[in-house]
């Protein structure tokens, strides 16, 4: 399971749509927020959303980072003309939030809600159950009043129903009648649709209705198939300041076109250790082992290929990694290390996938020799012997050391071997 953040726009849009179902129509939201991106025609928005020119508005970036108000990136109580000018002045500009810099490209527009009281609620999935937090002191500095936060835990074997009695014990009766169905419905939404984190901070009550101001949501991305028609979010955005590189975007485009899985994240393009790992679980194990041995800062990339990709897909995946790896020698003057690893495959044809990798290695042989590289291979599964034999033959053909092992070698044993200058132990 991967916990993936989504845009506030998507979180609110789905939440607003589903809450009437989970509250018996007791909580209904009238106006959906609007997402503005680089290609949005701001001048045409009022034609499709007449309320924009009839209400005061709030505008803020929607790119998976908090403390937007403290960073001077929220415009409150503005007209649509002011909102449009604000967005145009910020769009495409670099902003610094904390220590992170990133380009502003997506903004949320929604009605401005004058209010007095601010509440806080958050729900988080943990191993021992779902933790639900509530406070009558919501707002930007909830951490500073954490002693006001009440908590209940719904155990993993309990019915997915929230008992709000202790959470709302300090809330006046009129507000309690509104908040009880809201919190219960929110929890049903959280539990039934595979969220791992859902926070509303703050929310308020105006004219007998609950109004959501800021929302954060994270999903279990492996459960998307169970929520077809609910989480129609289109994409999981990259965290702020971590826009994909050209190579990452290319592999993502390949991944979207295949039934297999192709993933790539560049951690340190100057790193000495590069990996080409089969299997999501194996990729985690290899990365953890490299880090445990003290070489985390030298780990250049993280990713995996799995699901029986074609020879062509594996070739393109390997070629992308080799292109990054061979751009320059390592600053230490030592050879770079390429680990082609994986567990014992269930149905992926090892020989076929290795054929694609071999094609890429052959193509990049001169560049690999120029920068200095040692290659370590460990794999098992269908047709693995033929695949390993091809790898051994390739090493002799192109004159690059390729150390090849099958399932007789423990999956991660090639890592300490690779990290030794002599290939015999940890350096």
For residue 279 the two structure tokens come to 């299997």
Give the per-residue pLDDT at 281.
86
Q: What is the CATH number of the domain that holds 193?
A: 3.30.470.20
Whether residues 295 and 212 fall in one domain: no
pLDDT digits (tens, 9 = 90+) for 48-71: 999 999 999 999 999 988 888 888
pLDDT category of residue 422 using cuts at 50, 70 and 90: very low
Lowest mean pLDDT among 120-134, 272-286, 310-324: 272-286
What average pLDDT does the segment 198-210 reach?
Answer: 95
Parallel, antiparallel or unpaired: strands 301-306 and 261-266: antiparallel
Q: What is the CATH number of the domain that holds 70?
A: 3.30.1490.20
- Whole-number Å distance between alpha carbons of 123 and 86: 33
The yes-or-no verdict on residue 307 having pLDDT over 80 is yes
What average pLDDT does the segment 147-152 reach?
Answer: 95
Domain range holding 199?
3-27+115-227
Residue at a domain's end among 55, 82, 111: 111
Does 240 reside within a domain?
no
User: Based on the number of CB atoms within 10 Å of its own CB, is 208 exposed (0-12), middle (13-18) or buried (19 or more)?
Assistant: exposed
Does 306 reside within a domain?
yes
Whether residues 190 and 85 fall in one domain: no
Whether residues 38 and 122 fall in one domain: no
Residue at a domain's end among 199, 227, 255: 227
Does 401 reside within a domain?
yes
Whether residues 372 and 264 fall in one domain: yes
Any idea which residue has 């699901």 for tokens?
Answer: 307
- Whole-number Å distance between alpha carbons of 419 and 271: 13
Does 234 reside within a domain?
no
Residue at a domain's end among 111, 141, 162: 111
Q: What is the CATH number of the domain that holds 402?
A: 3.40.50.261
HSE at residue 332, side-chain half, CA atoms within 13 A, is 10
- Whole-number Å distance between alpha carbons of 317 and 324: 11
Does 238 reside within a domain?
no
Residue 93: CB atoms within 10 Å:
9
Whether residues 220 and 357 fall in one domain: no
Which residues neighbour 128 within 8 Å (Cβ) at sequence distance 6 or greater? Answer: 153, 155, 156
Give the per-residue pLDDT at 427.
34
Does 365 reside within a domain?
yes
What average pLDDT does the segment 194-198 reach?
Answer: 94
Whether residues 13 and 124 fall in one domain: yes
Does 74 reside within a domain?
yes
The yes-or-no verdict on residue 128 having pLDDT over 80 is yes
Whether residues 273 and 358 fall in one domain: yes
Q: Which residue has the higher pLDDT, 72 or 182?
A: 182
Give the per-residue pLDDT at 2.
67
DSSP code for 160: S
Give the per-residue pLDDT at 58.
97
Give the per-residue pLDDT at 421.
56
CA angle 120, 135, 97 (to 5 degrees): 40
Whether residues 290 and 261 fall in one domain: yes
- Whole-number Å distance between alpha carbons of 102 and 97: 8
Measure Cα distances from 28 to 32, 96, 209, 425 in Å: 11, 36, 8, 64
Whether residues 16 and 134 fall in one domain: yes
The yes-or-no verdict on residue 37 having pLDDT over 60 is yes
DSSP-based three-state secondary structure for 264: strand
Whether residues 106 and 120 fall in one domain: no
Whether residues 14 and 93 fall in one domain: no
Give the per-residue pLDDT at 118.
96
What average pLDDT does the segment 153-181 reach?
Answer: 92
Does 154 reside within a domain?
yes
- Whole-number Å distance between alpha carbons of 240 and 140: 19
Whether residues 406 and 334 fall in one domain: yes
What average pLDDT does the segment 155-177 reach?
Answer: 92
- Whole-number Å distance between alpha carbons of 299 and 321: 13
Lowest mean pLDDT among 216-230, 272-286, 344-358, 397-411: 216-230
Q: How many domains does the chain have?
A: 3
Q: Which residue has the higher pLDDT, 368 or 349?
A: 368
pLDDT digits (tens, 9 = 90+) for 337-357: 999 999 888 878 888 889 999
DSSP code for 344: B
């Amino acid at each position: 399971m991967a916990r993936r953040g989504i845009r506030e726009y998507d979180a609110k849009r789905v939440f607003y749509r589903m809450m009437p179902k989970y509250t018996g129509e007791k909580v209904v939201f009238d106006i959906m927020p609007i997402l503005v991106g680089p290609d949005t025609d701001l001048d045409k928005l009022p034609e499709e959303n007449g309320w924009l020119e009839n209400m005061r508005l709030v505008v803020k970036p929607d790119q998976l980072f908090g403390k937007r108000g403290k960073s001077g990136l929220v415009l409150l109580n503005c007209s649509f003309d002011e909102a449009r000018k604000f967005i145009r002045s910020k769009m495409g500009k670099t902003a610094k939030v904390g220590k992170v810099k990133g380009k502003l490209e997506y903004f949320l527009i929604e009605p401005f809600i004058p209010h007095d009281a601010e509440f806080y609620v958050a729900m988080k999935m943990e191993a021992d159950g779902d933790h639900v937090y509530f406070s009558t002191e919501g707002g930007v500095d909830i951490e500073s009043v954490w002693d006001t936060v009440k908590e209940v835990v719904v155990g993993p074997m309990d019915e997915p129903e929230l008992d709000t009695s202790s959470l709302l014990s300090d809330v006046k009766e009129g507000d309690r009648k509104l908040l009880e169905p809201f919190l219960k419905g929110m929890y049903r939404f959280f539990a039934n649709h595979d969220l791992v984190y859902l926070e509303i901070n703050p929310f308020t009550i105006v004219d007998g209705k609950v109004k959501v101001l800021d929302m954060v949501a994270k999903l279990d991305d492996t459960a998307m198939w169970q929520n077809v028609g609910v989480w129609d979010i289109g994409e999981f955005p990259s965290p702020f300041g971590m826009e994909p590189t050209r190579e990452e975007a290319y592999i993502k485009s390949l991944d979207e076109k295949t039934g297999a899985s192709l993933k790539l994240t560049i951690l340190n393009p100057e790193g000495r250790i590069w990996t080409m790992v089969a299997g999501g679980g194996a990729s985690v194990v290899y990365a953890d082992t490299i880090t445990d041995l003290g070489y985390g800062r030298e780990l250049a990339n993280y990713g995996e290929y799995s699901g029986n990709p074609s020879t062509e897909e594996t070739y393109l995946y390997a070629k992308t990694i080799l292109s990054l790896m061979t751009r320059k020698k390592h600053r230490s003057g030592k050879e770079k290390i390429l680990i082609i690893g994986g567990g014992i495959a269930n149905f992926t044809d090892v020989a076929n996938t290795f054929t694609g990798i071999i094609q890429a290695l052959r193509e990049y042989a001169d560049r690999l020799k120029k920068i200095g590289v040692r290659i370590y291979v460990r794999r098992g599964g269908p047709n693995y012997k033929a695949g390993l034999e091809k790898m051994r033959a390739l090493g002799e053909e192109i004159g690059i050391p390729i150390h090849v092992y099958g399932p007789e070698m423990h999956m991660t044993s090639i890592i300490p071997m690779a990290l030794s200058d002599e290939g015999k132990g940890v350096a």
